[in-house]
Amino acid sequence: MRLDNGRESSNIEDRRGSGPRLAGRGSLGIGAVVLALVAMYFGVDPSVVLDLASGPGQSVQETSGPPPADDKQAQFVSKVLADTEDTWSQIFTASGSRYTDPKLVLYSGATNTACGTGQAAMGPFYCPGDARVYLDMSFFEEMQRRLNAPGDFARAYVIAHEIGHHVQNLTGTADKVNRQQRRSSQVEANQLSVRMELQADCYAGIWAHHANRARQILEPGDVEAALNAASAIGDDRLQKEAQGYVVPDAFTHGTSAQRVRWFKRGLETGNPGNCDTFSAASL
């Protein structure tokens, strides 16, 4: 993946330096840990899961600042974020609207968010309450070790997917779906969540399409790495690994095949209008 000449974003907030730790009452129970491991992929609803995991009376002690200048991994994240800013700003401008950049928070272990206490076991997530993406970069190691999804572009896909949720927040899709979910059964709410996640996958592909056309970021093997990452975090695959069987009604993110399909749709077409998972008869 070619980002050597790319700019770095000014919207990175690094909370890793002080070694954040949980304080106060409450602890992360074994049930929450199991749930976290099953849900350790993109777009987990933090307003529900993180508050349950953190327990009452719990807080995080931390400080924040810019990443160290010699932190290569943070530089990579910053450049990917900057590239998503440039891409989505152009797309929004072309449609007559304005893109507002999100912040991306780097943390270790746990951190405060507007959606509850973020914890590393939950994986990367977007919090609409403060328009921030939260990332413990140990997840990149998990991608390589546990999910067998290494490579820079696979990591960029993680970030781009979460930025896709920010796009949904800006366009009002997130609010609309949340209102529908509150009026729905659990199975119906899960189905709406799947459509949200697949749309974010498609938006990740949209970013890759436009970034490559404008800046030639892709190298041989990059697309395959992203497709492998999308496949690795399908509900069917993760459920099979975690419990030995699959429960389709419990899907919240889509199957491996669905996640690959919608990412490819965005990558191949570059048209956000083709990411309307909510109108699709078949996912």
Segment 34-78, tens digit of pLDDT: 344 444 444 444 444 444 444 444 444 455 666 777 789 999 999
- What's the angle, vertex CA 258, arms to CA 209 and CA 2, rounded to 5? 30
Measured CA to CA, the distance from residue 168 to residue 130 in angstroms comes to: 14
Q: Does the structure show a pLDDT above 90 at 33?
A: no
For residues 12 and 247, what is the distance between their CA atoms, to the nearest angstrom?
Answer: 38
- Is residue 7 one of the residues assigned to a domain? no
Average pLDDT over residues 243-272: 93
| Run of H or E including 125 | strand 125-127
Residue 234's pLDDT band (boundaries 50, 70, 90)? confident
Residue 243 lies in a domain: yes
Q: Supply 174's token pair.
A: 């997130």
Domain of residue 75: give its range.
Answer: 12-275
Question: What is the model's pLDDT at position 50?
Answer: 44
Residue 28 and residue 117 in contact, taking contact as beta carbons nearer than 8 Å = no
**Is residue 125 over pLDDT 90?**
yes
- Residue 282 covered by a domain: no
Say what the pLDDT of residue 55 is: 45
Q: Minimal CA–CA distance to 226: which of 283, 166, 149?
A: 149
Pick 148 or 18 by higher pLDDT. Answer: 148
DSSP state, residue 130: T
pTM: 0.84
Question: Is the predicted pLDDT of residue 20 greater than 60, yes or no?
Answer: no
Residue 197 has pLDDT above 50, yes or no: yes
Query: What is the b/e burial string over 6-34, where b = at least 16 CB atoms within 10 angstroms of the residue's CB?
Result: bebbebbbbbbeeebebeeeeebeeebee
- Domain-embedded: residue 6: no
Is 5 a domain residue? no
How confident is the model over 101-123, as a mean pLDDT? 93
Question: With 80 as the cut, is the pLDDT of residue 165 above it?
Answer: yes
| Kind plus residue range of the DSSP H or E element containing 251 | none
pLDDT of the residue at 32: 37
The pLDDT > 90 percentage for the chain reads 62
**Mean of per-residue pLDDT scores for the chain:** 84
Please give the pLDDT value at position 19: 47
Q: Has residue 24 got a pLDDT over 70?
A: no
φ, ψ for residue 137, nearest 5 deg: -70, -5
How far is 122 from 167, CA to CA, in rounded Å?
Answer: 21
**Vertex 54, ends 194 and 154: CA angle to 5°?**
45
* 250 found inside a domain: yes
Name the E strands within 40-89: 58-61
Total domains in the fold of the chain: 1
Enumerate residues 6+ apart whose C-beta is below 8 A from 177: 168, 192, 193, 195, 196, 278
Strand pairing category for 12-14 and 103-106: parallel
